[in-house]
Chains A and B, each alone.
Chain A
Amino acid sequence: MKKQIGIYICHCGTNIAATVDCEELVHFSGTLPGVKIARDYRYLCSDPGQDLIKKDIQELSLDRVVIAACSPRMHETTFRNLLSAEGINPYLLNIANIREQCSWVHQDRAMATEKARHILRAAVARVLGHEALTPRKFGIQPSVLIVGAGIAGIQAALNIASGGMKVTLVEKAPFIGGHMAQLDKTFPTLDCSSCIFTPKTVEVARSRQIELLVSSEVTEVMGFVGNFKTKIRKNPTYVDFIKCTGCGDCVDACVLKKGVPSEFEEGMARRRAIYIPFPQAVPLKAVVDKESCLLLSKGKCKKTCVEACKAGAIDFDQKEEVIEKEVGSIIIATGYDPFDPHLLPQYGYGVYDNIITGLQFERLSSPSGPNRGEILLGNGTVPKAIAFLHCIGSRDENTNLHCSRICCMASMKQAHLAKEKTGAEIYEFYIDINAFGKGYQEFYKRVREEGIYFIRGKGSEIFKRDGRLVVAAEDTLLGTPVEIPVDMAVLGTGLTARRDAERVAQTFGISRSADGFFMEAHPKLRPVATQVDGIFLAGCCQGPKDIPDTVAQASAAAAEVMSLLTRGEIEVEPTIATIDPELCAGCKLCIEICPHSAIEFLEMKGISAVNEALCKGCGACTAICPNKAARQNHFTQSQVLAEVEGLVT
């Protein structure tokens, strides 16, 4: 059948018309092959502009359209929809970009018009070879995997569960709650963290929609949006959670009396080898740490815990389990690691007593913590002076360049608590106070009114003199160096990407930004999506955040997931690669180069084949295939060569 092309040249007001002679382009279009009609118009994207095209399609039986206008990123979808509505396959459209690539970047009208002619000729040459393409559709599993059960993962899980969908919530630790469970009070409202948080953790445990897997890690993710096939390794806890009542008799019976530093208490207290992480833990079950358990690490123990357990829940034969889950979407909410201040030896952390991190202070100040909320020095006395040092491991070329966002407020909140509980003289050593959130400036004012001293200068070092800690800094507002003796120093340690972030990124096929955190699809417009369709981010794994921002992002991720899952099926762009089984020699070069792991090798046939759902249409396989068996829809060799020829003729 004879191809009937309609060409439409847009003035874009004066954006194009001022530099490119549009009337001349109309005349020129008439000389091109297959062209039935050519017109120009002030704004083609407007309703009257579109009506003009529609009318031509109907009256002149056009079967292909070229729009010479702005970038396809602007209006390709607009005109594709127009073609669809008129019964023409939308892939029989081509956009000739004569604005961004021509009128906007040139001044000489004659030369710009000449360039536009070339662009137009290329577009027409290409559209002649266009093929009708149909998007593929896939069903979606109506279930979600959430990785990490801190406040972000919990919030997202509860949102999705209340929408009626199934959630598998996987947590590496033996309990849920993450860092928020460790906090004493939260800024700026001074709500008790566990008071506002415990109802949520309890709700997770109660929800029928949520399957909770603690002591578990995701080890493998295959498949694609709507149809992820995942493997989860459930590590042995050596306690049968169904039998365990959480009574704690085993803990008391454990022979490891001196214990090991408690992870939950940030090393401020010790725990036994079998332990319940903290009194409000969900699930409230005992677990065995195989590193410190004498039986598991040394092979020798009297097993007093087994004797003590009336429920018979302790099972040293427990093995790791692999659980397979098929889910439609995934939310990653793996959180952060606090900065390790050993890396900045000038602050004497680990050398002197009473130099602690922000999180350690939280445990000290928490009513459920090792001191029942009393702020005491290592020797049990009340500190008379306390220094808080900001930006330890943040905003520092030597460690992490990013601002950790929460430390200013956390430090000021801790200063308030310390002042209230001890009456000590409090010094805040800061560079800038980043109090950006709702009610944060007001809180900053409040703590100033409480008589906390703010010294504008970063702490340079901490050393000991006459039995006291001395913080050396400069009061930069006075221009005077200071050395202030204190009894306790709290390092405002920053937030860093998890130590295993790279492994997690590889498991899920997502990227990381320069700061080590997981990368969002667009920093402003797609802040919770990743580059992998169907995988979303929530909380500090994407970058440092306070609790309000974390909760907001978690809810946003939940909303994204639900809008995806309720669709029931997904449409995949047809501009993907195919491999001609007749031409494929099975060399596997395409499998190696494919960045999306979208090509499988069919052992039976000895050839490669594209997984249509995974292929993103990047074209890498097409370029590398020595037999030209790989072919990229909408970017075939003949289409691209025709376009190039049109440009250079």
Chain B
Amino acid sequence: MKIDPKTFVHDFQLNICIQCGTCTGGCPVKFRSPLNMRRLVRESYFTENFSSISKRPELWACTTCSTCSLRCPSGVKNVELIMGIRNFLANKGEVPSTIRDALENTLLQGNPWGRFRDRRADWAKDLGVKIFGEETSETLFYVGCAPSYDPRVQSVSTALVRIFQKAGVDFGILGKKESCCGNEIRRMGEQALFKKLAKDNTALFKKSGVKRIITISPHCYNAIKNEYSDLNIPVQHYTQVLADLIEAGKLNLSKRLGISATFHDPCFLGKQNKVFDEPRKILTSIPGCDYIEMERSRERSLCCEGGGGRMWAEGGTEGKRNGEIRIREAVALGAKTLATACPFCLLTFEDSVKTSGLSEQIVVKDIAELVGEAMEVV
């Protein structure tokens, strides 16, 4: 299949680039891969043949954190360009094998790891959670793939269920019927599969009579909130819900934790969706939690490299991973806990703690787990 470079120029506004390099300068993988966003935009603008550009392995180094697009003074859609080229490759069947597997798995099992669809809600078996179809509720707790299957992230899902139950929040989950939100699928280039997931999920949400959606992952939050075009149901990230519950005095944070914690802003929660204050409100409300701000926080948070399909990509980068840089920054600050609010951040940082041999100095926790501890429900 051929691609018309003119479509790219038009769709991603390549012709308005002023080549200022703001994108490359802020790119979190700029020293870890040959990816140079500014040059890619220029090459894509002038090329007659996308095949040569699309063969570069560094195209898979992009984490789709969107720092480049958000700062671009000209409004170039850099990240959409990356996704466009990946889409070109996906349509030709030329994506790396690990990515291909993740895409196929999602098509067949509704999750990129290829775990059995029937076992998606196993984690919630003994928690007394309502399941849509059997019971009804106005609030959907959309769990997502990693929090459903990954044993480390399952503890976040469990903590949230117990917090909600204790706070008297009425909610239900979709159980086995839940499928991947498609956020990473779209970012890996499978636009068609994303559209199918968005369509099927939207239909399922509507059929279940859902009036609001709460997500665990900022990635699910982003896709459902911003990229499900026909949804019209309000979506909240769980940190927004917990901050509201604290404000309303409905969370009994009774136990002093005695920790010093810092917070890593997930890209899809913070810079992309401007949820900055809620996680901080929660952490500073936990008794015995000495909160320290990281140097690179909020809009300047350094991407953990877990997004944009990087969880399934191999290679494309070299040198010290951002996760390790982040862990060292947190340790240098004197934090004993690195809190975050994203399953991918949680997994990449836990990995980085191990690879940098700092497990004695610091632990990585999701905010939900800390709240659960303070409420003594986990």
- Segment 449-488 of A: residues with Cβ below 8 Å from B: 456-461, 463-465, 472-476, 479, 481-482
Is A134 part of the contact surface with B, judged by Cβ < 8 Å? no
Q: Name which of A258-266, A374-382, A389-397, A628-636 contacts chain B.
A: A389-397
In this complex, what residue of B is CB-closest to A481?
B30
Q: Name which of B31-39, B124-132, B352-360 contacts chain A.
A: B31-39
0/1 string, B57-100, CB within 8 A of A gives 1: 00000000001000111110000000000000000000000000
B26 x A397 contact (CB < 8 A): no
B73 x A460 contact (CB < 8 A): no
Report if A458-B295 is in contact (Cβ < 8 Å); known contacts: A479-B36, A481-B27: no
Determine the chain A residues whose CB is within 8 A of the CB of B27 once the complex forms: 481
B39 x A479 contact (CB < 8 A): yes
Is B24 part of the contact surface with A, judged by Cβ < 8 Å? yes
Is B25 part of the contact surface with A, judged by Cβ < 8 Å? yes
| Partner of B20 from A345, A457, A479 at Cβ < 8 Å | A457
Report if A391-B73 is in contact (Cβ < 8 Å); known contacts: A458-B22, A460-B22, A460-B26: yes
Determine the chain B residues whose CB is within 8 A of the CB of A304 once the complex forms: none
23 A-B contacts, Cβ less than 8 Å apart?
A: A346-B26, A346-B299, A348-B300, A396-B73, A397-B73, A397-B74, A398-B73, A432-B18, A456-B21, A457-B25, A458-B25, A461-B25, A463-B295, A463-B300, A472-B25, A473-B21, A473-B22, A474-B21, A474-B23, A474-B24, A476-B19, A476-B24, A476-B38
Q: How large is the interface on A (under 10, 10 to 19, 20 to 34, 35 or more residues)?
A: 20 to 34
Q: Give CA–CA (A456, B31) in the complex, Å.
A: 18
Closest CB in chain B relative to A342 CB, distance in Å: 12
A474 x B25 contact (CB < 8 A): yes
Interface centre among B20, B27, B30, B73 (most CB of A within 10 A): B20
In this complex, what residue of B is CB-closest to A456?
B21
Is A431 part of the contact surface with B, judged by Cβ < 8 Å? yes
B300 x A458 contact (CB < 8 A): no
In this complex, what residue of B is CB-closest to A396?
B73
A459 x B73 contact (CB < 8 A): no
| Partner of B299 from A345, A391, A457, A472 at Cβ < 8 Å | A345
| Partner of B25 from A348, A395, A398, A459 at Cβ < 8 Å | A459
Determine the chain A residues whose CB is within 8 A of the CB of B26 once the complex forms: 346, 460-461, 472
Q: Give CA–CA (A475, B30) in the complex, Å.
A: 12
In this complex, what residue of B is CB-closest to A475?
B21
Q: How large is the interface on B (under 10, 10 to 19, 20 to 34, 35 or more residues)?
A: 20 to 34
Is B296 part of the contact surface with A, judged by Cβ < 8 Å? yes
Is B298 part of the contact surface with A, judged by Cβ < 8 Å? yes
- Extra inter-chain contacts (19) besides given A476-B19, A476-B20, CB under 8 Å: A345-B298, A391-B20, A398-B71, A431-B20, A457-B20, A458-B73, A459-B22, A460-B23, A460-B25, A460-B67, A460-B71, A465-B295, A473-B22, A474-B23, A474-B36, A476-B38, A479-B36, A479-B38, A482-B25
- Segment 352-398 of A: residues with Cβ below 8 Å from B: 391, 395-398
Closest CB in chain B relative to A255 CB, distance in Å: 35
Determine the chain B residues whose CB is within 8 A of the CB of A459 once the complex forms: 22, 25
Q: Give CA–CA (A517, B212) in the complex, Å.
A: 43
Determine the chain B residues whose CB is within 8 A of the CB of A348 once the complex forms: 300
A397 x B20 contact (CB < 8 A): no
A481 x B300 contact (CB < 8 A): no
Closest CB in chain A relative to B21 CB, distance in Å: 3
Closest CB in chain A relative to B31 CB, distance in Å: 6
| Partner of B71 from A346, A456, A464, A476 at Cβ < 8 Å | A346
A481 x B18 contact (CB < 8 A): no
In this complex, what residue of B is CB-closest to A399?
B73
0/1 string, A54-72, CB within 8 A of B gives 1: 0000000000000000000
Q: Give CA–CA (A315, B73) in the complex, Å.
A: 51
Determine the chain B residues whose CB is within 8 A of the CB of A345 once the complex forms: 298-300
Determine the chain B residues whose CB is within 8 A of the CB of A456 once the complex forms: 21
0/1 string, A425-439, CB within 8 A of B gives 1: 000000110000000
Closest CB in chain B relative to A612 CB, distance in Å: 49
Closest CB in chain A relative to B35 CB, distance in Å: 10
Closest CB in chain B relative to A408 CB, distance in Å: 14
Closest CB in chain B relative to A57 CB, distance in Å: 59
Q: Give CA–CA (A472, B27) in the complex, Å.
A: 9
- Segment 222-269 of B: residues with Cβ below 8 Å from A: none
A458 x B74 contact (CB < 8 A): no
A473 x B18 contact (CB < 8 A): no
Determine the chain A residues whose CB is within 8 A of the CB of B30 once the complex forms: 474, 481
In this complex, what residue of B is CB-closest to A476?
B21
In this complex, what residue of B is CB-closest to A394?
B73
Closest CB in chain B relative to A393 CB, distance in Å: 10
Closest CB in chain A relative to B313 CB, distance in Å: 21
Q: Give CA–CA (A346, B271) in the complex, Å.
A: 10
In this complex, what residue of A is CB-closest to B36?
A479
Determine the chain A residues whose CB is within 8 A of the CB of B298 once the complex forms: 345
0/1 string, B287-300, CB within 8 A of A gives 1: 00000000110111
Determine the chain B residues whose CB is within 8 A of the CB of A464 once the complex forms: 295
B295 x A481 contact (CB < 8 A): no
B75 x A458 contact (CB < 8 A): no
In this complex, what residue of A is CB-closest to B299?
A345
Interface centre among B22, B30, B31 (most CB of A within 10 A): B22
Closest CB in chain A relative to B29 CB, distance in Å: 10
Interface centre among A395, A397, A459, A481 (most CB of B within 10 A): A481
Closest CB in chain A relative to B344 CB, distance in Å: 22
Q: Give CA–CA (A460, B22) in the complex, Å.
A: 5
Interface centre among A458, A465, A475 (most CB of B within 10 A): A458
- Segment 488-513 of A: residues with Cβ below 8 Å from B: none
Closest CB in chain A relative to B298 CB, distance in Å: 6
Report if A457-B300 is in contact (Cβ < 8 Å); known contacts: A346-B71, A463-B295, A479-B36: no
B295 x A431 contact (CB < 8 A): no
Q: Give CA–CA (A346, B295) in the complex, Å.
A: 12
Q: Give CA–CA (A461, B36) in the complex, Å.
A: 17
Closest CB in chain A relative to B175 CB, distance in Å: 41
Interface centre among A396, A431, A458, A460 (most CB of B within 10 A): A460
In this complex, what residue of A is CB-closest to B37?
A474
Determine the chain B residues whose CB is within 8 A of the CB of A397 once the complex forms: 72-75
Report if A481-B296 is in contact (Cβ < 8 Å); known contacts: A397-B73, A473-B21, A476-B38: no
The 7 closest A-B pairs by CB, nearest first: A460-B25, A474-B21, A460-B26, A457-B21, A396-B73, A474-B24, A473-B25
A431 x B296 contact (CB < 8 A): no
Determine the chain A residues whose CB is within 8 A of the CB of B295 once the complex forms: 463-465
In this complex, what residue of A is CB-closest to B296?
A463
| Partner of A461 from B31, B74, B300 at Cβ < 8 Å | B300
Determine the chain B residues whose CB is within 8 A of the CB of A463 once the complex forms: 295-296, 300
Closest CB in chain A relative to B207 CB, distance in Å: 40
Closest CB in chain A relative to B137 CB, distance in Å: 38
Q: Give CA–CA (A481, B35) in the complex, Å.
A: 10
Q: Give CA–CA (A458, B300) in the complex, Å.
A: 16
Closest CB in chain A relative to B231 CB, distance in Å: 27
Determine the chain A residues whose CB is within 8 A of the CB of B67 once the complex forms: 460
A474 x B71 contact (CB < 8 A): no
In this complex, what residue of A is CB-closest to B26?
A460
Determine the chain A residues whose CB is within 8 A of the CB of B71 once the complex forms: 346, 398, 460-461
Determine the chain B residues whose CB is within 8 A of the CB of A475 once the complex forms: 21
Determine the chain A residues whose CB is within 8 A of the CB of B299 once the complex forms: 345-346
Q: Give CA–CA (A60, B27) in the complex, Å.
A: 84
Q: Give CA–CA (A464, B30) in the complex, Å.
A: 18
Closest CB in chain B relative to A618 CB, distance in Å: 37
In this complex, what residue of B is CB-closest to A471?
B25
Q: Give CA–CA (A495, B150) in the complex, Å.
A: 52
Interface centre among A457, A464, A472, A476 (most CB of B within 10 A): A476
Report if A458-B21 is in contact (Cβ < 8 Å); known contacts: A474-B38, A476-B38, A479-B39: yes
Determine the chain B residues whose CB is within 8 A of the CB of A479 once the complex forms: 36, 38-39
Q: Give CA–CA (A432, B18) in the complex, Å.
A: 9
0/1 string, A394-438, CB within 8 A of B gives 1: 011110000000000000000000000000000000011000000
Determine the chain B residues whose CB is within 8 A of the CB of A474 once the complex forms: 21-25, 30, 36, 38
